[in-house]
A and B are shown apart, each in its own frame.
Chain A
Amino acid sequence: MDWSKQNSRALMFLAALVVVWAAVAALRIVPAIVLPTPASVVRAVPKMLQERLLADIGLTLARVLGALAIACVFGIPLGLYLGYRKGVYQVIESPLHALRSVPASALFPLFLIVIGVGEKSIIALAAYPSLLVILANTVSGATLANKRRLYQARLLGLDTFDTITEVLAYEALPNILDGIRTAVSYALMLVIAVEMFIGLSERGLGRSIYEYQSTYRIPETYGAIIIAGIIGILLNAVVSQMERRMLRWLPNVQED
């Protein structure tokens, strides 16, 4: 299935969802406090903009991107190095997988103790599972690198740094981008959850969802949730765009 076809199907599905929603809300099958009409949600948006919606979106996005940046800056080089020195990886493989099994949200109290209450803790908590998933993907991409092609690196006398940056990084690139895609959803999920339930965050989209809900501003609550969803979709689209630009050289499986 090609890309535009997939997109138009997704849009059709969303449109159908809105129609069902409108019908259910109009027929009063469920009370308006549980499900407001789509129109009331749309009407709520200008009000939200007059309040501090944009600042909240900006803050949430900044936290997500900060967490992803940390995850990439540490996860990718470390993953490539571990994929290159498989001996080291074998030693830390099991502890790493054990760490990945611990839900990140369960660790939040620990982060608060170690890092302290504040912005740093939110970003660190979101960075943590993002880093682990990017690390694991990068290592597996680097381990799966074409062995025969690595002969070229040895043949031409490439040092460790050049082998990693000029050969292994490309070999692992599809896996790295896959890892980033998963990390994006982890980071967004955790930032919003932390903003929502932990009062220490000044603001953010999660906080505004929570506040709208607790003051019974239900259309605004839905509006903020939908905006969070749109942010997720857009971040995903950015990763897809990166994949298409950075992996132009990959044989296109769909064409075969």
Chain B
Amino acid sequence: MSAPAPSAAPAVEVERVAFSYPARSDNGEGTLYEDFSLEVELGSRFVLMGPSGSGKSTLGRMLARIMTPQAGEVRWSPQFTHRWDVVYLDQHPINSVFPWLTVASNIKYPMKKLGWERSKRQDRMCYLMSLFRMGALADAYPASLSGGELQRLALARCLSWKPQLVILDEPFSALDRKVKAEIIAALGELAARDRMTLVLITHNVSDALALGTRCVVIGRRPVRIISDLEFRATFPREAATPDYDTMQQALIAGIRDGLV
């Protein structure tokens, strides 16, 4: 292994973690993770894939230090000096917004709590609302939004205060294809501008290809890494992008390995 370049410093290091859920009769064994290690580089767009129930969300929540592993350690980069430098976006977007606040207030609330000036909050909110195509919804309450609109609101809110590491758990599941392409482009733009590290949890191959610089497929119990791919093609990526087919085939082959 070569010495890590400064740009390859880890945003999160997962070292030999173990995690089991209380054993239940319906899913057999409770052990999910055992002696599992992983590194996410700073500035990367890391995609975590795996079949349903493979423990992707559990890993995401351990990366965000919402869940503590029963053994081993999860270390954050020393650059992350505040709790809010790392955010986990729940796969149910309603859990990440306050239903009693309007769309605009939801986006502004975290910035207000973190002491941003009023004018900066307003500017950032307007920028995010237009980036995520929510301009007309400023005064709506989350309950009146469609599934896709709610996902966009949750995304805009968790990105509002410029966290350094953003862990997104299935953030596009309710978006239709056209909107999804727009949102992925917006997310890429924002990640580059604000120098965020992204972790995207998904089981959608085209989402992984559209956004990822590194893609890790996990599976089996106890969980292990089934394939670990690096994608260097430039953004935005479409089916016509050179290497797209190669990347797609490599990823699909990796996923298939996990099913064997």
- Alpha-carbon gap, A156 to B112, bound state (A): 10
A249 and B113 contact, CB distance less than 8 A: no
- Shortest distance from the beta carbon of B4 to any chain A beta carbon, whole Å: 29
Which residues of chain B are near A162, meaning CB under 8 Å? Answer: 113
- Alpha-carbon gap, A155 to B90, bound state (A): 13
**Of A157, A158, A167, A251, which one neighbours B143 at CB under 8 angstroms?**
A251
Task: Annotate B113-155 by CB proximity to A: 1 below 8 A, 0 otherwise.
Answer: 1100000000000000000000000000111000000000000
Interface size class of B (residues with CB under 8 A): 20 to 34
Interface window among A42-50, A93-101, A121-129, A144-152? A144-152
Known contacts: A146-B95, A170-B100, A251-B143. The answer to whether A151 contacts B110 by CB under 8 A is no
**Of A149, A156, A250, A251, which one neighbours B113 at CB under 8 angstroms?**
A156
Which residues of chain A are near B82, meaning CB under 8 Å? Answer: 157
**Of A152, A154, A248, A251, which one neighbours B96 at CB under 8 angstroms?**
A152
- Shortest distance from the beta carbon of B114 to any chain A beta carbon, whole Å: 6
- Shortest distance from the beta carbon of A256 to any chain B beta carbon, whole Å: 11
Residue among B87, B92, B101, B113 having the largest count of chain A Cβ atoms under 10 Å: B113
A252 interface residue (CB < 8 Å to B): yes
Which residues of chain B are near A251, meaning CB under 8 Å? Answer: 99, 143
Known contacts: A151-B88, A155-B84, A156-B114. The answer to whether A249 contacts B96 by CB under 8 A is no
Interface residues of B in 193-230 (CB under 8 A from A): none
**Of B90, B96, B99, B114, which one neighbours A250 at CB under 8 angstroms?**
B99
Which residues of chain A are near B143, meaning CB under 8 Å? Answer: 249-252
Which residues of chain A are near B90, meaning CB under 8 Å? Answer: 148, 151
Which residues of chain B are near A249, meaning CB under 8 Å? Answer: 99-101, 141-143
Closest to A149 in B: B95
Residue among A149, A162, A252 having the largest count of chain B Cβ atoms under 10 Å: A149
Which residues of chain A are near B177, meaning CB under 8 Å? Answer: none
Which residues of chain B are near A154, meaning CB under 8 Å? Answer: 83
Which residues of chain B are near A155, meaning CB under 8 Å? Answer: 83-84, 87
A151 and B66 contact, CB distance less than 8 A: yes
Which residues of chain A are near B87, meaning CB under 8 Å? Answer: 155
- Alpha-carbon gap, A167 to B90, bound state (A): 17
Which residues of chain A are near B66, meaning CB under 8 Å? Answer: 151
Kindly list 8 other residue pairs between chains A and B, CB separation below 8 angstroms, not including A148-B92, A157-B84, A248-B141: A149-B96, A151-B90, A152-B96, A155-B87, A157-B82, A157-B83, A167-B98, A249-B101
Q: Which of B's residues lie within 8 Å of A, judged by CB?
A: 66, 82-84, 87-88, 90, 92, 95-96, 98-101, 110, 113-114, 141-143
Query: Can you pick out 7 interface pairs between chain A and chain B where the beta carbons lie within 8 Å of each other?
Result: A152-B110, A156-B113, A157-B83, A157-B84, A157-B113, A249-B101, A249-B141
